[in-house]
Structure 1
């Protein structure tokens, strides 16, 4: 079976610095970052469907929950972190719950609060799929050219200089 990520066409190269003279460096770098993440998201989409049976947005929810050793997150916090409307998140959580990947429960002392957590099935599938997903992301990042990398480093000068935060 062919690798689903290979069926996604490469995006055209970003404009060179001379072609983007009207854009300030920060805006140009931001646009390159968006194009790069969009390209990786396109490559990741079919892999997510094959390995986890979820959409990219549902995957982002799973990533937030997988990073929580202490349990779950309130739905309002997930919506804030992902910059998503609460109504859309409610639908995504319902899909994940139907698949048996997350649970929802009321927050103690707050009858309107709802906390979401990964189920054991969700943890197991996420752990099993993580190497494949990481490989897909890495292959997308490997396609970033030197000019694009240099522009993105402009957004994070400490990364370009090798310093840690």
Structure 2
């Protein structure tokens, strides 16, 4: 028998899957995957546009192996580059390039529009309580 928490969680999971799918499809028009876009967002707001690989992995919710593959794709596309830590040669940073900033900025409008539209559609198609609760929790106090 489902509980209120279970019903709520199923709604959140359905909403998440639906929105993520729409965002991933929209970002493909910019030649970016969703994780790639989010990595560029984190890097673009980081001090000096750089993060240690483990920091980026933590921010994205990825393991070390997955973030290494992600950064390799971004590097191959010229959107990031790796740099060694000056104080600790074992530390590896990934640094956003100007091309990476431009690609992230170019995709930003598509991401925001798609996110809002997907949440609006979900709200009228049976996931309204989840959308309303999430939007309310994001409002400044």
Question: Rg larger in 1 or in 2?
Answer: 1
| 1:79 CA drift (Å) | 1.2
Whether 2:78 is the aligned partner of 1:100: answer yes
Whether 2:57 is the aligned partner of 1:79: answer yes
| 1:82 CA drift (Å) | 1.9
Whether 2:122 is the aligned partner of 1:139: answer no
Aligned to 2:14: 35
Unmatched segments (≥5 aa) in structure 2: none
Task: Flag the structure with higher helix content.
Answer: 2
TM-score of the superposition, structure 2-length normalised?
Answer: 0.83
| 1:43 CA drift (Å) | 1.2
Q: Give the number of equivalent residue pairs.
A: 140
- State which of 128, 137, 142 in structure 1 corresponds to 2:106: 128
SS of equivalent residue, structure 1 residue 142:
helix
| 1:163 CA drift (Å) | 6.0
Unmatched segments (≥5 aa) in structure 1: 1-21
Aligned-pair Cα RMSD in Å: 2.4
TM-score of the superposition, structure 1-length normalised?
Answer: 0.73
Q: Structure 1 residues 105-114 or 65-74, which shifts more?
A: 65-74
Post-superposition, which runs of at least 4 consecutive aligned residues in structure 1 deviate over 4 A? 151-154
SS of equivalent residue, structure 2 residue 91:
strand
Q: Distance in 1 between matches of 2:49 and 2:56?
A: 13
Aligned to 2:88: 110
Judged with a 3 Å threshold, the aligned counterparts in structure 2 of structure 1 residues 120 and 163 are, in CA distance, closer, same or farther, namely closer
